């Protein structure tokens, strides 16, 4: 059974050890450099969110100062090579999408600082789609790639297998960081929830209609991870019909064409990096 078949049947899968310890170290070093030069990137990266806790914003380690730095793995050559377009990640994505792959959205790194990393409420990642019944929803490669271990106390992902079969369900804004859904109003119970604990370098891939969440980080450890959605180039026309401007990467540099990993040509770098 292909990874695509597993995704469509179960709604998610986990691939262990996609990034090596060396790749993880390189990514963290680069993120720290970028976070230390963040003023240079503010007018070049659409979303940069400081940590909720004011003390964390002044932390000696720049990695602790932010909740989210969006798009950076699609704008920095080092993070492109060692995270976004890493050959093992692209190989996994090709098993789902085929040989031509583009990013659908900005993605980015969610930093989830110790003791103040916020909760991401129950939701689906199908928000770019308008839900038109006459347009078939394409299979996407919706994933989280961890640079740190994820456990219950520092925000390991929780999801509900099989919830993707509901299709797109109505979301409501309840005062959190974005709209959310009550999964237990759709026939599921807390016993259906699966917590996916991961080691550094592991990847979780889920169907974009799977209902999932990330609890707050109440530990003394950080939990950095890259989240993004990749699409097949074959679905470009369909996605253009479905997608709203919100959450969609307008540049979409190709990650892989005809099975060959692409180089990043449009990038930004702070002076001295």
What pLDDT was estimated at residue 235? 87
In DSSP terms, which residues pair with 12 in a beta bridge? 206
Which domains are seen in the chain, by residue range? 3-261 (2.60.120.620)
DSSP string across the chain: --HHHHHHHHSEEEE---S-HHHHHHHHHHHHHHHHTHHHHTTTSS-EEE-SSHHHHT-SSGGGGEEEE-SGGGT-HHHIIIIIT-HHHHHHHHHHH-S-EEESS---EE---TTTPPPEEEE-S-TTB---TTSPPPP-EEEEEESS-B-GGGT-EEE-TTGGGG-S---B--SSSS-B--GGGTT--GGG-EEE-B-TT-EEEE-TTS-EEE----SSS---EEEEEEEEGGGHHHHHHHB-STT--SS---SEETTEEPPP-S----TT-
Q: Distance between CA 148 and CA 110 in Å, rounded?
A: 11
Q: Print pLDDT tens along the chain (273 aa).
A: 899 999 999 999 999 999 999 999 999 999 999 999 999 999 999 899 999 888 889 999 999 999 999 999 999 999 999 999 999 999 999 999 999 999 988 779 999 999 887 788 999 986 556 555 567 778 899 999 999 999 999 999 999 999 999 988 887 767 666 778 888 988 999 999 999 999 999 999 999 999 999 999 999 999 999 999 999 999 887 777 776 544 455 667 899 999 999 999 989 999 988
User: How distant, in Å, are the alpha carbons of 88, 113, 145, 200, 224 from that of 16?
Assistant: 11, 23, 10, 9, 16
What pLDDT was estimated at residue 133? 59
CA dihedral 116, 122, 125, 130 (to 10 degrees): -130
């Amino acid at each position: 059974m292909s990874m695509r078949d597993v995704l469509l049947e179960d709604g998610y899968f986990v691939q262990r050890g996609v990034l090596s310890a060396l790749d993880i170290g390189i990514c963290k070093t680069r993120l720290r450099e970028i976070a230390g030069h963040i003023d240079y990137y503010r007018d070049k990266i659409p979303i940069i969110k400081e940590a909720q806790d004011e003390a964390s914003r002044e932390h000696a380690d720049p990695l602790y100062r932010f909740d989210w730095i969006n798009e950076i793995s699609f704008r920095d050559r080092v993070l492109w090579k060692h995270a976004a377009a890493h050959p093992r990640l692209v190989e996994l994505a090709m098993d789902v999408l085929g040989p031509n792959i583009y990013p659908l959205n900005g993605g980015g790194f969610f930093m989830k600082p110790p003791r103040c990393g916020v909760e991401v409420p129950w939701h689906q990642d199908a928000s770019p789609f308008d839900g038109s019944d006459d347009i078939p929803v394409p299979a996407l490669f919706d994933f989280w790639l961890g640079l740190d271990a994820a456990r219950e106390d520092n925000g390991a992902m929780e999801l509900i297998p099989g919830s993707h079969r509901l299709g797109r369900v109505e979301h409501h804004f309840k005062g959190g960081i974005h709209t959310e859904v009550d999964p237990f109003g759709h026939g599921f119970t807390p016993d259906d929830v699966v917590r996916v604990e991961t080691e550094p370098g592991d990847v979780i891939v889920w169907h974009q209609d799977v209902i999932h969440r990330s609890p707050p980080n109440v530990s003394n450890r950080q939990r950095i991870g890259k989240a993004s959605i990749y699409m097949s180039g074959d679905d470009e026309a369909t996605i253009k019909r479905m997608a709203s401007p919100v959450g969609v990467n307008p540049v979409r540099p190709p990650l892989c064409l005809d099975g060959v990993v692409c180089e990043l040509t449009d990038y930004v770098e702070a002076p001295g990096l």
